[in-house]
Structure 1
Amino acid sequence: MNRFAAGLLGSLAAAPLTAQPLPVVRPLGPITKVSGAGVLGSVSMVRSLPSGAVIVNDVTRRQLVLLDANLVKKKTIADTSLATGKSYGSALGGLMAFRGDSSLFIDPSTLGMLVVDADGEVARVLAVPRLADVNSMIGGPFGTPALDPRERIVCRNIVRAKALAMNYAAREKSVLKQQTDDSALVYRINLATRAVDTVAWVKVPVARATMSETRQGGLRVVETTNPLPVVDDWALLPDGRVAIVRGADFHVDWIDLDGRSTSSPKIPHPWERLTDDAKEKLLDSLKADVEQRREALRKAGRDNAGPSARSIIGHTNAAPFIIVRGQLASDVGRAPPPPTQIVSEFVPAKDLPDYRPAFRIGATRADLAGNLWVRTTTPSDAGAVYDVIDGRGRLVDRVKVPFGRVISGFGPGVVYLGVLDEKGARLEKANIR
């Protein structure tokens, strides 16, 4: 039995008979507004404004768009066209609330931060506080970066493999193993002083890869991942506290503006025990997804192949790794080296947790009322179930969102949902109740 299961069993055994009951799962309130067709390519982050308008970060089309209260497009704030001065760079950008009704757009390609006012105008440009942190301020699976009341950007660092590249400079048989750390740092960056304040360490998925040379002189890469990692998550609340949601026993640690830490009781959860048979079936069901990813990697290798190098970019659930195959001077005029072989594997069934983790990485957001919304792994054919946890760590609601939707932002009494289906991408606004 692994440590997660042992700890969970201990928690269950120690739970009092008067433990908080599970609230009944209820549907989200009605959807009241929907953006028009063709306006968006994706919905990464939504910044609600006091007027009811919203700014949407569309990372697929690399554009920042202002929509009115009815989700009708008012203007393009930034994109890759000359009309906006190519103000959305070549890399994915980040969006967060700034002072008053203004917003910050972080552009890693220029190392700048656009200050956008409530009318969608770029008021000025700031430099990022520290170059090393710019990618951590984007968000995505690393959490939702945000500005606290003391004007410190709260974010989580990106965990990288210890060896990101391998270059064959000789014809020697060699093997390289790389692995990311199992912990990441949540920290605060002061915009004025650039001082860094450690908030907490969180548990993250581990990515492993083994690289070796084949008998034909090619490269073989074996990726090993855990499809059910036990992780922690985090979010910044409006009052400046940072909530660390612990996955091992599903409780919340609270770190205030001065760094003081408190913990609230465990959140009641319908833990699903995974038998050995269930673990095997789970791994078998993932084979089709693995094959699709493997084919995508093969295609990436073919598309990126050139006379002097071959590159494959693989994406794990923790961080990307890059493998570069260089061409020797003696190879000029000869046939290109054999293609890189990518093999994706999962950890053995015995290494999976004995209970399905309550949530995955990047599952937590905070609403304007100071509640945490945690997207759980509770199975549902009708849509994801979010646990709503109040500022004291109590489970106060369980909400099912419509199928195919994810929460992208909040407004007063409303929630913004990102949708991507056969009709394309769009933004929906729904009442919380």
Structure 2
Amino acid sequence: MTFTCARLLALPTILATLASTAGAQARPPIRQLGAVHASTTDSLGMVNNVRALPGGTLLINDAASRRVLLVDSTFKLISIVADSTSSTANAYGPRSGSLIAFRGDSTLFVDAASLSMLVIDPAGKIGRVMSVPRSQDAMLLAAGGLGTGAYYSNGYLVYRGMPGLRMQMGSSGTPTMPLVADTMAIVRVNLQSRAVDTVGFIKIPKTNTNMSRSDDGKISITIEVNPLPVVDDWVVTSSGDVALIRGKDYHVDWMSPDGTHRSSPKMAFDWKRLSDEQKVALIDSVKAIRDRAAAANPGQGNAMAAAFGAALGMGGAAGGAAPQMVMSFDMRGGPGGPGGPPRSGGAPQIMAPQINYVSPTELPDYQPAFFATSAKADDDGNIWVRTIPTKPAPGGAVYDVINGKGEVVERVQIPENRTIVGFGQGGVVILALREGSTTRLERARVR
């Protein structure tokens, strides 16, 4: 969602301006990321994730263009691994997929629509096709655009689970949204036995969604969000440890490949208290950003409505088919069903969602250390967490580099308007620069 992305990108600047500078803790000094030494020249859409391979080659998941590309260390195109065109033998699929580092130097490409995983060799050739472990988790395995989708580790796929939710349709024909928990499980699936176990739970952003239906059958949606939630994040490190980064007090809970658990001490952070006045100013600033973004892209609301319609099974999905969702839709007692009004003219019209925000009193008293989906694992056993700035500063985002002991050993600032989308061997960092509707990738050094 364009206006949502713009709002989130601007939040760090707002928070840094609002935050007090009192009570700073000792933390490593900020250093700059190493120089950029290569950049893409081809036009890319929305890059969900990348997979760095030996020799500097790179698999790029261009979800907006629905294609997977293999490029060399200078970003010169080697081959198109998967594409959406009919002339390509290996089709990308109708919806976004995700890349997962698999055994050795092979890679899994998850196609949620077909409930399958393509096994790609280092040369970009598809060797075989596997089914996803559980059909209800296909979309989460393919959720690279939401940050961490999934990892392969020691014979397991590790990913964020999702409980099955059942949406009911009332007698008036108005869907009733189920209550969604503010925690989600991190699970492991054994690819041989398909046995599932839970690693732990993380706190996620919670959104309250309500629906109402007018007399003419139109469905209105109201979404209430918290622009500054206290959340957790997670990664699987190169050593195979599952790391749960806790947002409440900024420490890491670990589960080793042998199943043992441990917790590292709280990490130093420059915690900033938000006054009541600052909370009100934050909500007002976020609303202003949303309104400007919506005015610049008036069609975005209709796109959101279509997405809701597809999720509800009311049409609007690519290819005319509704996506497979973990949320099912019970039509019993609703339109066309027993006790409900008849459905006329096909599916009901869904209006553009109305975005509201929680009361300023529901914002946290202390600014969180990070937003959701801010953590990345490098190839050296470290975790990089994109932190929320606590005071105004020039330049790009600053990442805390956390070692295997749960200590912040470095703070690294990347160039402005960039995000880290992956790491490669030998201290390589892959950056994404969003330029309007296109993305440019850059290859830099850690130092």
TM above 0.5, yes or no, is yes
Q: Secondary structure of the residue that 1:187 maps to in structure 2? A: strand
Aligned to 2:382: 371
Correspondence list, 1:169-318, <5 A: 170=172, 176=176, 178-214=178-214, 218-291=218-291, 292=293, 296-298=300-302, 301=305
Q: Using the aligned pairs only, state the percent identity.
A: 37
Partner of 2:30: 25
Give the 3 Å change call, closer, same or farther, for CA 159–248 of structure 1 in structure 2: farther
**Distance change >3 Å, CA 353–CA 98, structure 1 → 2:** same
Q: Cα 1:43–1:217, aligned 2, differ >3 Å: closer, same or farther?
A: closer
CA offsets 1:194-230 (integer angstroms, 9 cap, x no match): 1112100111111112223446664333211111111
CA contact 2:252–2:263 (8 Å) conserved in 1: yes
Distance 2:195 2:246 in 1: 27
Q: Matched residues in 2 for 1:132 and 1:175: separation?
A: 21
The aligned counterpart of 2:321 is none
Report deviation, 1:326. Answer: 5.5
8 Å contact kept, 1:383–1:400: yes
* Deviation for aligned residue 1:42: 2.5
Shift of 1:20: 7.9
Tell me the distance in 1 between the aligned counterparts of 2:193 and 2:350. Answer: 49
Q: Secondary structure at the match of 2:104?
A: coil
Does residue 1:402 correspond to 2:407, yes or no? no
Tell me if the contact between 1:78 and 1:86 (Cα under 8 Å) persists in the aligned partners.
yes
- Aligned counterpart, 1:34: 39
The superposition leaves residues 75-102 of structure 1 with CA deviations (integer Å, 9 ceiling, x where unpaired) of 1000112332252111211101112221
Task: Give the one of 43, 48, 55 matched to 1:44.
Answer: 48
Instruction: Report the number of matched residues.
Output: 400
Change (3 A) 1:430 1:223: same
Check conservation: 1:301, 1:311, Cα contact below 8 A.
no
**Stretch deviating more after TM superposition (280-289 or 133-142):** 133-142
Matched residue, 1:420: 434
Closer, same or farther in 2 for the Cα pair 1:74/1:311, shift >3 Å?
A: closer
Q: Residue by residue, what CA displacement relative to the aligned partner does 1:21-40 show, whole Å, maximum 9, x if unpaired?
A: 301111111001101132x2
For the residue of structure 1 that corresponds to 2:373, the secondary structure is: strand
Q: Which residue number corresponds to residue 91 of structure 2?
A: 87
**1:388 aligned to which of 392, 396, 401:** 401
The question of whether the paired residues in 2 share the 8 Å contact of 1:301 and 1:312 is answered with: no
- Asked which structure has the greater RCO (Cα within 8 Å, sep 6+), the reply is 2
* Deviation, structure 1 residue 164: 3.8
Query: Counterparts of 2:305 and 2:411 in 1: how far apart (Å)?
Result: 44
Verify: 1:64 aligned to 2:68, yes or no. yes
Give CA deviations for 1:282-314 in whole Å, capped at 9, x if unaligned.
100111344455952246548999xxx97799x
Amino acid in the other structure paired with 1:360: F
User: Cα–Cα, structure 1 residues 299 and 129, in superposed 2: closer, same or farther, change >3 Å?
Assistant: closer
Rounded to whole Å, the distance in 2 between the matches of 1:293 and 1:322 is 30
Residue equivalent to 2:58: 54
Q: 1:300 and 1:211, CA in 2 relative to 1: closer, same or farther beyond 3 A?
A: closer
Displacement of 1:337 in angstroms is 7.6
Q: Does 1:357 align with 2:357?
A: no
Does the Cα contact within 8 Å between 2:166 and 2:329 map onto a contact in 1?
A: no
1:127 aligns with 2:131: yes
Which residue in the other structure is 2:114 paired with? 110
Structure 1: runs of 5+ lacking an equivalent: 1-18, 314-318
| CA gap 1:364/1:323 in 2 versus in 1, 3 angstroms | farther
Flag the 1:163–1:281 CA change in 2: closer, same or farther, 3 A: farther
Cα separation, partners in 2 of 1:285 and 1:321, compared to 1, 3 Å: farther
The one-letter amino acid of 1:125's match is: V
RMSD of aligned residue pairs (Cα, Å): 3.2
Residue pair 1:300, 1:312 contacting (<8 A) in 2 also? no
Aligned partners of 1:416 and 1:429 also within 8 Å: yes
Partner SS, residue 429 of structure 1: strand
Rate the CA distance shift 1:247–1:402 in 2: closer, same or farther, 3 A.
same
Q: What residue ranges of structure 2 are gaps of 5+ in the alignment?
A: 1-23, 318-325
